[in-house]
Amino acid sequence: MIGILDSGVGGLSVLREIRALQPNASLHYLGDSAHCPYGTKSPAEICERVTQIADYLLGKGSSLLVIACNSATIHAVGPLRAIYPIPIVGMEPGVKPAAEKTKSGVVGVLATEASIAGEKFHQLVDTHADGVRVITRPCPRFVELVEAGNLEGDGVNEAIDEAVAPMLESGADVLVLGCTHYPFLKKAIRNRVPEEVVLIDTGPAVARRVVEVLPPTSDFSEENAEIHIETTGAVSVLEGLFPKLLPGLEARLTKSGLAD
């Protein structure tokens, strides 16, 4: 079983990619909507909460853990790897592919405050984006919109324009969707930026990595292929959101047994 976690429903954008590559894997997702957003929390708070969730998912039988949250990866993947003997796949804003793709030499990174403030993010830029101008912007409004199931319309367009217009004016030709909530706004973002601007979502690359590190003994018979989504928030909200975010996918949706 693959355990997947995020501060809320954002990581479902990664679950969708894992499911597409390995339709018979059993996926157990925990969305910590009661504590969303992580993006404005301190590194210590994020690390403590993510460790509780990891403990919980391992206790439920996960043999691989996916931190489907850039903010949580940046602040907790090191400590988690030091504690747990299972493969842990994390993710970080796609600065490297962005630096490879830019022609103008300017890239925009949309990510949470927690992600871009960390030392790890600066290392990422120093290592992979030498000579490239990297403009960052936290977009807490994007997270709120996705958690509320608002994926299009005037409010969404306004939030996108506010975040993206200054980047485009500065010459950015690549935009990194550096938070797992943002891919759910990809269609709306696409409609607000010129055609030639490249949007980078690292979800598919994370899913490929997950498939690579799956334990060789994994059983992918169809009867194991359940998707179980737990939320620490209200199940009624998740029930309303899930079909909007992942139309056509079936999953068991429950209130999490993890204490707040």
Contact residues toward ligand DGL (CB under 6 A) are: 6-8, 10, 36-39, 69-71, 112, 115, 143, 179-181
| HEC secondary structure over 222-253 | HHHCCEEEEECCCHHHHHHHHHHHCCCCCCEE
- Residue 65, phi then psi, degrees to nearest 5: -120, 130
- Residue 100, phi then psi, degrees to nearest 5: -70, -30
Which lies closer to ligand DGL via its Cβ, residue 110 or residue 253?
110
C-alpha–C-alpha distance, residues 153 and 146, integer Å: 12
Of all helices (H) and strands (E), which one includes residue 46? helix 43-59
At its nearest, how many Å lie between ligand DGL and the CB of residue 48? 15
At its nearest, how many Å lie between ligand DGL and the CB of residue 34? 12
Nearest to 183 by CA among 8, 13, 36, 15: 13
Which lies closer to ligand DGL via its Cβ, residue 143 or residue 251?
143
Write out the two tokens for 11: 């990581």
At its nearest, how many Å lie between ligand DGL and the CB of residue 217? 30
Residue nearest to ligand DGL (CB): 39
Which lies closer to ligand DGL via its Cβ, residue 104 or residue 209?
209
Which lies closer to ligand DGL via its Cβ, residue 96 or residue 181?
181
Catalytically active residues, by annotation = 69, 179
Q: Is 3 exposed, middle or buried (0-12, 13-18, 19+ CB in 10 A)?
A: buried
C-alpha–C-alpha distance, residues 138 and 151, integer Å: 18
At its nearest, how many Å lie between ligand DGL and the CB of residue 160? 16
